[in-house]
Structures are given as structure tokens and as C-alpha cells.
């Protein structure tokens, strides 16, 4: 008990000393700012009729340092500020209080949500340095547009199960490809152009089974592949 009492006394003494030092530093900082500086934890801003239109707060009810805005009737309409983790946040709402525009900046990436974040809305942002655009129904993102490491655009459409349905990409060598997937997300069809040739791959979900192509010189061909990926037969037409 004596040791616990000694520890409590030491902690109280340390807190008093720390408080005194903090107070002295704050006082010195305020003195350095001059007489034209106003220091307050909250500033209420009103219009000509005395109605509250904005609040500048160092620590609001959300734990943010923020500037909050209010409509003529007193309804909250949005805020801009820094959250408790130090991340910038901007939010604007409709008259009923539903969020319609939300922007956040994390450690390295940012995200903007346009529309009802609980229902259908659009997403614009970056993830691990990769920019993206998406459409969401509040539960999933059925459409995504991104850029690859070398700037190649990629569009992905997903089904209701969250599996890929259609994919489009322009490769690093400017070769465009369109892929079609089945309900389980297995790739079935790939269509594209490579080095002047047109190619259509048809698969069973695990491997290519048939390839239809037209070479740069106009030569058309149709090839069939076995379970091991080996060519079984090829039908070709000579170019004229």
C-alpha cells in the first residue's frame, strides 16, 4: 500500500509539473502570436438574423477539428476537417442528412464518394498509387475502371456474385483484348489483336479449346486443342 501511495504521489507530481510546463509553453506561444489573434476551442458563426450557419471547432462531437455548415433551418449540411487520425475529410449532405459527397485522404491514397454511400454511388480514388473509378450499389462494385502499371486502361464488369463477367484492356504493346467469363468467373472467350493479327480464343473455363485467327497477311485459320493443350487439328485458308 505504501508503495502504491508513493507511485500515485509521484504520478500526480509529474502531471502537475507537466501541466505547468504545458501551460508555460502555451502562454509563451500565445504571447508570440500577438494581440490580434483570437484563441478559442469553438467559434459559432451566425447570419444577419442570428441563425447559426457554421461552427469552427477544434474538437467537435465527431472528434474532428472541423468547420461545419448548417442550412437556414438549422439542419447540418456538411463539414470539412481533420479526423482523430489526422486524415482530411470533406462531407456534404442532402436536406435530410444523407451523405451525397464524401472525400477522404488516407496515408497515401484518396477516395471520393458521389451519391448515396448506402445505395447507388460513384467512387473515384486511388489504391496503392493506382487510380480507379467505380460504380457501386452500396454492397458491391459491379464496374471498375483502372490503370495498369504502364498506364494501360482496364475495364472490369462483375456479376451479382462478384465474379468477373467482362474484361477489357489495352495492353502495354497497344494490343486490345476483350474477355468474357461464365457465371462462376471462368474465362470462356478472349478476342483481340496481336501484331496485326485478329485472334479469338474459345475455352472451357480452364484451357483454350479452339482458336480462330486471321493473320496480318489475310490468312485465316481455325485450330482445335485437346485436354492437354496440344493442337489436335488445324484448318487454314491460303491468303489470296
| Span 214-236, average pLDDT | 91
> Cβ(101)–Cβ(123) under 8 Å?
no
pLDDT digits (tens, 9 = 90+) for 156-203: 999 999 999 999 999 878 899 999 999 999 999 999 998 889 999 999
* pLDDT computed for residue 148 by the predictor: 84
Residue 204 gets which letter from DSSP? S
CA 208 to chain centre: 35
* pLDDT computed for residue 28 by the predictor: 52
| Span 85-103, average pLDDT | 95
Q: What cell was used for 58?
A: 477544434
Containing H/E element for 16?
A: helix 2-33
Q: What cell was used for 183?
A: 457465371
Domains, the chain, with CATH or none: 148-240 (3.90.930.1)
- Distance CA(28)–CA(71), nearest Å, equals 39
- Distance CA(164)–CA(182), nearest Å, equals 8
What number of CA atoms fall less than 13 Å from residue 190's CA on the CB side? 20
Containing H/E element for 6?
A: helix 2-33
* pLDDT computed for residue 224 by the predictor: 95
* pLDDT computed for residue 55 by the predictor: 97
Higher pLDDT, 38 or 78: 78
- Distance CA(169)–CA(172), nearest Å, equals 9
| Span 107-132, average pLDDT | 92
- Distance CA(178)–CA(187), nearest Å, equals 11
Amino acid at each position: 500500500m505504501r508503495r502504491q501511495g508513493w507511485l500515485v504521489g509521484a504520478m500526480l507530481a509529474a502531471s502537475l509539473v507537466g501541466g505547468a510546463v504545458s501551460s508555460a509553453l502555451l502562454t509563451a506561444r500565445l504571447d508570440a502570436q500577438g494581440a490580434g489573434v483570437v484563441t478559442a476551442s469553438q467559434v459559432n458563426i451566425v447570419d444577419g438574423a442570428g441563425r447559426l450557419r457554421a461552427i469552427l471547432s477544434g474538437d467537435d462531437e465527431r472528434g474532428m477539428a472541423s468547420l461545419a455548415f448548417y442550412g437556414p433551418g438549422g439542419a447540418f449540411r456538411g463539414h470539412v476537417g481533420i479526423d482523430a487520425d489526422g486524415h482530411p475529410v470533406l462531407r456534404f449532405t442532402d436536406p435530410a442528412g444523407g451523405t451525397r459527397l464524401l472525400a477522404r485522404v488516407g496515408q497515401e491514397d484518396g477516395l471520393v464518394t458521389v451519391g448515396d454511400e448506402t445505395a447507388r454511388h460513384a467512387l473515384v480514388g486511388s489504391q496503392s498509387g493506382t487510380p480507379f473509378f467505380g460504380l457501386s450499389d452500396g454492397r458491391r462494385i459491379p464496374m471498375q475502371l483502372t490503370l495498369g502499371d504502364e498506364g494501360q486502361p482496364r475495364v472490369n464488369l462483375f456479376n451479382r456474385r462478384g465474379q468477373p463477367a467482362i474484361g477489357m484492356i489495352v495492353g502495354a504493346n497497344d494490343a486490345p483484348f476483350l474477355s468474357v467469363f461464365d457465371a462462376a468467373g471462368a474465362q470462356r472467350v478472349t478476342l483481340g489483336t496481336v501484331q496485326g493479327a485478329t485472334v479469338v480464343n474459345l475455352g472451357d473455363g480452364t484451357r483454350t479449346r479452339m482458336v480462330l485467327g486471321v493473320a496480318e497477311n489475310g490468312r485465316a485459320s481455325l485450330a482445335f486443342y485437346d485436354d492437354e493443350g496440344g493442337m489436335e487439328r488445324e484448318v487454314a485458308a491460303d491468303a489470296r
